[in-house]
Structure 1
């Protein structure tokens, strides 16, 4: 069934190394997306007319444009147009952060809009400043409300990193294709075993994140 190629040489280790590359890019992008998404989401919730228009255009660009096209634009287009040198990994982090920040900011905006106005008014009545109101009252509530959607976004970002092979990054899917090609004659069924293994590796990477989400939901409900 093609699984035997995993035990030839260092093929299995190479798959793990490829997965580590994908996870590193996705995790850096997630951290950046959460930080920037919180800030932009709060700005979007303020309903400042000109900012609202700019952020709406930003969201529409991200939602309409496929991530693969964005990767090509940044790595092959912008770098040559501006005459700058960006590695494939840096280009990938820029694209995934650009995408993730838009998605996260919209989640933050929606969560903020769901907080009743009385929460803000009560905080002000207690003498809290606007910053203190957000830090101690609003943000803890929106974090709880955002957990399921945020976890879904994180797992989507991990899975979507498979696109980075298109700009030359040797991640797990690229390694898998290299192994299949190298064993095409000796193991014609290698594709099944390799891709099943890659599917399992992605499951192992995403499943604990999903379980953490379930745990936090149950903990905060009690």
Structure 2
């Protein structure tokens, strides 16, 4: 039988290495998602403030994170700030920090949109009940805003998972980097190994994102019932 290169996946510890790379990818992505969600809620509420200085600073932060590509931010933090200021910042820590900053900006803008879309009568009712500003957001505004956030938040999560492939360019050995190493090592004896290795990586990315999508649909069905 002709060798199609699929054997490369089960030779030695190649499969184990790819799965370890998947763990690095998931660790970076989901750590950043958790921090982004918490910080994004506070940032989004801050963006609704009417103070012109606060609004300017929030808008500047949001646009800076949106306009400048994530890859450039990775280079700035890992090769620029960490090296020039002698900060002991590993590649993985740099990646988590950059993805958290990016995710906070995107999540914050979605929170701002969700909060401002809630009718002003909700605010007036809360104030009429004697709720403080913190209690008003805790019991009335945020629970309603969360339901409107789910589709956008799930989309942001999957984007962050896929964008973690960029961290290979600052030396992090995640799933894609492991796949490239396996392909390069076996290029001469298995020229078609790239098809199988990248095919497996495609499948693993799909399996990583699919539960997030199912969670979104589950929450939507539960809240609509």
2: CA distance, partners of 1:127 / 1:73: 48
**1:130: Cα distance to partner?**
1.2
2: CA distance, partners of 1:61 / 1:3: 44
1:27-77 residue CA offsets vs partner (Å, 9 max, x unmatched): 111111111111111010122210111111111111111111110010000
Q: Which residue of 138, 144, 149 corresponds with 2:147?
A: 144
Match of 1:32 in 2: 35
1: CA distance, partners of 2:18 / 2:175: 5
**1:131: Cα distance to partner?**
1.0
Match of 1:42 in 2: 45
1: CA distance, partners of 2:209 / 2:83: 35
Match of 2:202 in 1: 199
Q: Give runs of aligned pairs for residues 1-222 of structure 1, distance below 5 A.
A: 1-222=4-225
- Alignment size in residue pairs: 222
1:133-192 residue CA offsets vs partner (Å, 9 max, x unmatched): 111111100000000100110111011111111111100000000000110011000111
1: CA distance, partners of 2:50 / 2:93: 33
**1:82: Cα distance to partner?**
1.5
TM-score (norm. length: structure 2)? 0.97
TM-score (norm. length: structure 1)? 0.98
1: CA distance, partners of 2:130 / 2:77: 47
Q: Secondary structure at the match of 2:46?
A: helix
Runs of 4+ in 1 over 3 A off after TM superposition: none
2: CA distance, partners of 1:125 / 1:47: 21
**1:219: Cα distance to partner?**
1.1
Q: Secondary structure at the match of 2:136?
A: helix
More displaced stretch, 1-10 vs 183-192: 1-10
